[in-house]
């Protein structure tokens, strides 16, 4: 079984079809390249795979399942809870003064013990006596809030990038998106977030477990920085890195989640030949760690040098698939690149 | 009996409708000033409401110095025109200067520094308004109680155009509001969509760097935006003063908040949106004042704002730009 | 790390020593007590706006919620009377719940839309406090409020020095907690959302939940500050003590101090509130020495110059130090680190 099955992915933006019915399979442990002229829909395809966009049509299966939260009973329960809470709080907001006066104002005398049961009973009686009209408004408000929750939750049910990342697909971006004001090591630690367990209260109160995890994660992040050759600047801001190093940091950040699949969007863009060579080595070392790599790239030396299989896109459609040798022999694929790329 | 009641209810409803629309249109003029500035430099121009306030103080000063309230017949309308023009010129110039002094040097240093600078400018304008109220002029009651609200002479009569018997009041004031806002907005639409300046403004709003590279003098365009926004605020200040007949140095806050809310409600950056949002807010205010309790009006306005934004996160007419990944 | 902690330690060291020099002056205590209270509110806002990047223009509402929750829970005109310490704690909790309720439907909104919603929340809160007179006592405010007792010893209202140190210690605790969060997984998630929400989501961080936690935490800290504000006055004061001006003051504190920096918040509070409470009062005294009678001339009363001076100061600070008084937590250029030997280094490409 293949690791990632992309089936009939179609992305439309208004009238524009950026990706049109693309299907392919990625096998475990291979380096898989997506190539094609500018505007062929490669990045859009990546965005559909990683959940940044919801595809107009088609599916992406990872280890045989669509990464998606199931609309189970939890949705119904939450909607109910939120709706009822909304209704009750609206009711209280509209009638709070009367209820408060009846329950507390009338029962409380300074210095005397407060009759809690009496107060509750009075509050209940006052609430019961509220005219029906004032009951309708809370019901409506509760309904509206409940509906809004359904809307919000429904949006959460789509394939969101965070769920996909947690399932084991990590990515980099074409126009590098680092956290520029955070240090290098913090960038990597953010990438590691999905594997860390310390929650809010542990962090706040420094409960047991905090120190251990923080030591372990920092050490691991330093290892990753060393892996991409940036360990010596671990404490400086990511924004201060030169361009070529930023790509490496982005890769380290993506690797920090220990992904099954790493998606690289034009990792060699803007690099000089020596940087490209070391990037090729880096990608191969990543694969040797057992990580499947999918990359978009224009740099043909890199693509042909390290890919196991290649998919060629043009105008959003797949026009070829195969090993580097097969692609280099395919006339359609060569034509697609003629003029656009002279490196082939 | 029943029928009479129905017609009374209808009258009441129509009355609130007219009040709401008139107030909404005044808000709209201010809201456009917010939305234009936001559209072009992404700044919530906090000082705009107080600029509006100063505009009305200038109008009252001009009125007092020239003795316009004594003019009669056609002279009154000439006076109103004079007030509109002087206030618009003043606000435009002031807005432009504020941009020059307080915003332009900070444009490169980020949204929030700009915002704080705008807050600072707002404080200064409020304080100037307080001082202005202390001018020893008759229209300011001799300037003895500087902080007190000032009466604005009713240049425009409050007679009912629908006849004395009608329960619905439609006064020349309402017509004045319409007569000022409608042509202004049409002219503005023309400027933005048809002129070179308008094209340059839209280009700068979309991508200032690219606009500059294409040879657009973005500094000048931004300056022009502040000029126009200020002028609209000036118009608004005069019609507000003539409509409500009282002004105070603190009114900029309320007006500014309404207008900014309107701009956001309509989709900030969109001019038709600002107008739509302003009309909605004017109407909601009037209806809430009329049918519910005045003291809950703010709560209702903002409650409706939140509900609308939950369902339309970019405002009524705003469009959400897709982020390029 | 130690170098970054220093401004905070310095702040507390100086603050702890100050009463030795100015101990006699009531003005001093008034000023510093409000500096500490507003530092707390600023700290809360710093979590929401500084760390997580959500512009909040309604911080005063959370301060008010804290103050009123504290008052209702402790004042002897109501039956709850949970006592000072429980009141503080519960006020913080109520603030968190309020933040959660406001945040749940609205935190999906982008920047300035959220700003207007928070501003509206501030207005609504004021209206509610004014209108629900049976509960909030309207413009009277709820009073008197209990005094804190520590092991049988009660800090009386007049004992300004003890209040000073009590506030300083509580502020210290809050700063400690906020720093802990900032330098943990929780805080990193907040910062990453501010830096690049999409990239952060693609790293597996759920944006909405993370924002919500930040919002609730910030609200809780501000509510805590509000509760102390009320405790200091022994009254909630009238609802207008929590108006938009207060929200704006909180915002100015964190921006003037330096966004996203805890030390910056402390410095910002000292500068902004200090200016309000010391400098302007001093100026008033100074002017007032010459002309004490109530003049009809508006310019003669120094109190009338307050906003002008405040506004000018804001603009000046922003022009001279647009990044805030305390510089950002990391230098944006790495100094002392040689570039990697094998790679040719193009000039740092900027952030565009």
Residue C2 lies in a domain: no
Residues in B touching A173 (Cβ below 8 Å):
325
Nearest to C311 among B110, B120, B146 (CB): B120
**Residues in B touching C198 (Cβ below 8 Å):** 323, 325
Global pTM exceeds 0.90: no
Q: Which domain holds residue C180?
A: 26-242
pLDDT digits (tens, 9 = 90+) for C295-337: 567 777 767 787 888 888 888 888 888 888 887 666 544 333 3
pLDDT, tens only, C32-73 = 889 999 999 999 999 999 999 998 999 999 999 999 999 999
For residues A1 and B234, give the distance between their C-alpha atoms in angstroms, rounded to a whole number: 71
Interface partners of C (3+ CB pairs, < 8 Å)?
A, B
Per-residue model confidence as pLDDT tens digits over C158-191: 788 888 999 999 999 999 999 999 999 999 999 9
Every domain range in chain A assigned CATH 3.40.50.300: 4-68+162-337
**pLDDT tens digits, C90-143:** 999 999 999 988 887 777 777 778 888 898 899 999 988 998 888 888 888 888
Q: Cα separation of B65 and B62, whole Å? A: 5
The answer to whether residue B322 sits within a structural domain is no
What span, in angstroms and rounded, lies between the C-alpha atoms of C341 and B232?
60
Q: Is residue B96 part of a domain?
A: yes
Chain C residues with CB under 8 Å of B295 CB are 127, 130-131
**B148 at the C interface (CB within 8 A)?**
no
Tokens matching residue C99 = 């933040």
Q: Which residues of chain A fall short of a pLDDT of 50?
A: 339-344
In a domain, residue B5? The reply is no
Domain that holds residue B81: 25-251
What ipTM goes with this model?
Answer: 0.87
**Among all chains, which residue has been given the structure tokens 């009374």?**
B8
A237 touches chain C (CB under 8 A): yes
Distance set, CA B233 to CA A286, B33, B86, B94, B174 (Å): 61, 7, 12, 11, 18
Q: Which residue has the tokens 């680092």?
A: A178
Q: Are C307 and B126 in contact (CB under 8 A)?
A: yes
| Cβ–Cβ gap A162/C342 under 8 Å | no
Chain C residue closest to A111 (CA)?
Answer: C76
Question: Can you give the pLDDT at residue C61?
Answer: 96
Is B75 contained in some domain? yes
Question: Is residue C311 in some structural domain?
Answer: no
Are the Cβ atoms of A193 and C203 closer than 8 angstroms? yes
Mark the ranges of chain B whose per-residue pLDDT is less than 70: 1-5, 320-325
C41 inside domain: yes
pLDDT computed for residue C2 by the predictor: 44
What residue of A is the nearest CA neighbor of C101? A86
Q: Which residues pair with B123 in a beta bridge?
A: none
Does C340 reside within a domain? no
Mean pLDDT of chain C: 83
In a domain, C237, yes or no: yes
Question: Phi and psi dihedrals of A321, rounded to 5?
Answer: -155, 140
Is it true that domain A4-68+162-337 has CATH number 3.30.9.10? no
Distance from CA of C132 to the nearest CA of A (A): 6
> Hey, are the CB atoms on C112 and B310 less than 8 Å from each other?
no
Per the CB < 8 Å rule, is C348 touching A180?
no
- Per residue in A208-245, pLDDT (tens digit) is 889 999 999 999 999 999 999 999 999 999 998 988 88
- Count the domains in chain B: 1
Given the structure tokens 């990590």, which residue do they identify? A170
The answer to whether the Cβ–Cβ distance between C135 and A240 falls below 8 Å is no
Q: Which chains touch B (3 or more CB pairs under 8 A)?
A: A, C
Q: Check CB contact of A198 with chain C, cutoff 8 Å.
A: yes
Strands of A57-62's sheet, edge to edge?
A16-26, A4-13, A57-62
Report the chain C residue with the minimal C-alpha distance to residue A255.
C203
Number of domains in chain C: 1
In angstroms, the Cα distances linking C67 to C77, C145, C271 are 16, 10, 24
Across the interface, of A13, A52, A144, the residue whose CB is closest to B307 is: A144
Tell whether B121 lies on the interface with C, counting CB pairs under 8 A: yes
The torsion of the CA quartet A72, A73, A75, A81, rounded to 10 degrees, works out to: -170
- Going by C-beta distance under 8 Å and a sequence separation of 6 or more, which residues neighbour residue B121? B46, B47, B50, B98, B102, C311, C315
Interchain CB distance below 8 Å, A13 and B307: no
């Amino acid at each position: 079984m293949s690791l990632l099955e992309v089936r009939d992915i179609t992305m439309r933006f208004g009238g524009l079809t950026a990706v049109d019915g693309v299907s392919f399979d990625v096998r475990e442990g291979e380096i898989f390249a997506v190539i094609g002229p500018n505007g062929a829909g490669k990045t859009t395809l990546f965005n559909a795979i990683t959940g940044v966009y919801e595809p107009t049509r088609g599916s992406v299966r990872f280890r045989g399942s669509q990464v998606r939260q199931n609309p189970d009973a939890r949705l119904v329960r939450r909607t109910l809870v939120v709706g009822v809470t909304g209704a009750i709080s609206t009711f209280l907001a509209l009638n709070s003064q009367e209820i408060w006066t009846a329950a507390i104002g009338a029962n409380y005398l300074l210095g005397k013990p407060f009759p809690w049961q009496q107060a509750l009973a009075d509050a209940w009686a006052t609430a019961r006596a509220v005219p029906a009209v004032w009951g309708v408004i809370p019901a409506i408000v509760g309904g509206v809030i409940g509906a809004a929750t359904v809307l919000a939750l429904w949006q959460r049910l789509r394939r969101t990038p965070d769920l996909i990342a947690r399932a084991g697909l990590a990515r980099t971006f074409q126009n590098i998106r680092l956290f520029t004001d955070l240090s290098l090591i913090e960038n990597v630690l953010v990438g590691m977030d999905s594997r860390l367990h310390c929650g809010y209260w542990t962090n706040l109160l420094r409960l047991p477990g905090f120190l251990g995890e923080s030591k372990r994660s920092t050490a691991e992040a330093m290892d990753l920085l060393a892996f991409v050759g940036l360990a010596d600047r671990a404490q400086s801001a990511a924004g201060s890195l030169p361009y070529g190093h930023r790509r490496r940091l982005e890769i380290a950040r993506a690797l920090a989640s220990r992904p099954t699949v790493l998606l690289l969007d034009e990792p060699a863009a803007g690099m000089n030949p020596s940087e490209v060579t070391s990037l090729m080595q880096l990608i191969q070392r990543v694969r040797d760690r057992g990580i499947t790599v999918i990359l978009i790239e224009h740099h043909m030396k890199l693509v042909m040098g390290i890919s196991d299989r290649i998919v060629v896109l043009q105008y959003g459609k797949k026009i070829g698939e195969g090993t580097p040798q097969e692609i280099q022999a395919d006339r359609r694929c060569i034509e697609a690149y003629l003029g656009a790329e002279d490196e082939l | 009996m029943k029928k009479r009641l129905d017609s009374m209810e209808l009258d009441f409803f129509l009355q609130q409708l007219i009040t709401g629309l008139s107030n909404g249109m005044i808000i709209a003029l201010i809201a456009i000033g917010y939305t234009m500035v936001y559209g072009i430099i992404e700044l919530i121009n906090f000082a705009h409401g107080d600029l509006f306030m100063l505009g009305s103080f200038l109008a009252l000063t001009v009125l007092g110095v020239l003795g316009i309230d004594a003019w009669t017949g056609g002279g009154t309308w000439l006076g109103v025109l004079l007030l509109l023009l002087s206030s618009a010129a003043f606000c435009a110039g002031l807005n432009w200067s504020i941009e020059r002094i307080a915003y332009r040097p900070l444009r490169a240093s980020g949204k929030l520094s700009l915002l704080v600078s705008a807050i600072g400018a707002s404080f200064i304008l409020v304080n100037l308004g307080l001082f202005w109220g202390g001018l020893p002029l008759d229209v300011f009651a001799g300037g003895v109680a500087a902080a007190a609200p000032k009466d604005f002479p009713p240049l425009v009569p409050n007679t009912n155009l629908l006849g004395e018997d009608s329960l619905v009041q439609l006064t020349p004031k309402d017509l004045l509001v319409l007569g000022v806002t409608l042509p202004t907005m049409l002219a503005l639409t023309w400027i933005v969509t048809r002129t070179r300046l308008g094209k340059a403004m839209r280009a700068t709003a979309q991508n200032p760097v690219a606009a500059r590279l294409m040879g657009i003098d973005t500094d000048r365009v931004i300056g022009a935006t502040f000029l126009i926004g200020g002028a609209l605020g000036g118009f608004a200040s005069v019609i507000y003063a003539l409509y409500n007949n009282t002004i105070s140095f603190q009114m900029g806050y309320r007006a500014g908040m309404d207008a900014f809310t309107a701009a956001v409600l309509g989709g900030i950056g969109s001019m038709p949106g600002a107008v739509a949002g302003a009309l909605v807010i004017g109407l909601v205010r009037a209806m809430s004042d009329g049918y519910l309790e005045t003291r809950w009006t703010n709560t209702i306005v903002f409650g409706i704002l939140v509900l609308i934004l939950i369902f339309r996160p970019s405002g009524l007419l705003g469009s959400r730009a897709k982020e390029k990944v | 790390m130690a170098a970054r902690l220093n401004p905070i330690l310095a702040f507390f060291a100086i603050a702890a020593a100050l009463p030795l020099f100015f101990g006699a002056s009531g003005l001093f205590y008034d000023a510093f007590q409000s500096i500490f209270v507003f530092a707390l509110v600023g700290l809360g806002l710093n979590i929401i706006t500084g760390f997580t990047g959500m512009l909040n223009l309604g911080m005063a509402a959370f301060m008010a919620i804290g103050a009123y929750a504290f008052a209702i829970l402790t004042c002897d005109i109501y039956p709850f009377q949970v006592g000072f310490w429980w009141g503080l704690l519960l006020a913080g909790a109520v603030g968190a719940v309020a933040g959660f309720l406001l945040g749940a439907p609205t935190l999906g909104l982008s920047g300035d839309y959220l700003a207007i919603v928070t501003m509206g929340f501030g207005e609504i809160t004021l209206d509610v406090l004014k209108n629900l007179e049976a509960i909030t006592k309207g413009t009277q405010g709820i009073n008197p409020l209990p005094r804190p007792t520590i092991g049988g010893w009660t800090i009386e209202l007049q004992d300004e020095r003890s209040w000073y140190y009590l506030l300083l210690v509580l502020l210290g605790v809050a700063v400690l907690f906020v720093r802990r969060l900032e330098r943990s997984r929780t805080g990193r998630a907040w910062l990453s959302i501010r830096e690049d929400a999409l990239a952060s989501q693609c790293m597996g961080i759920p944006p909405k939940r993370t924002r919500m936690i930040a919002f609730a935490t910030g609200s809780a800290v501000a509510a805590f500050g509000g509760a102390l504000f009320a405790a200091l006055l022994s009254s909630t004061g009238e609802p207008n003590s929590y108006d938009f001006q207060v929200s704006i003051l909180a915002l100015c504190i964190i921006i003037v101090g330096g966004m996203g920096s805890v030390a910056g918040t402390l410095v910002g509070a000292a500068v902004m509130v200090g200016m309000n409470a010391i400098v302007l009062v001093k100026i008033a005294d100074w002017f007032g020495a010459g002309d004490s009678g109530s003049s009809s001339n508006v310019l003669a009363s120094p109190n009338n110059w307050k906003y002008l001076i405040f506004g000018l100061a804001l603009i000046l600070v922003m022009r001279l130090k647009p990044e805030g008084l305390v510089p950002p937590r990391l230098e944006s250029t790495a100094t002392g680190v040689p570039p990697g030997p094998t790679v040719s280094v193009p000039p740092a490409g900027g952030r565009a």
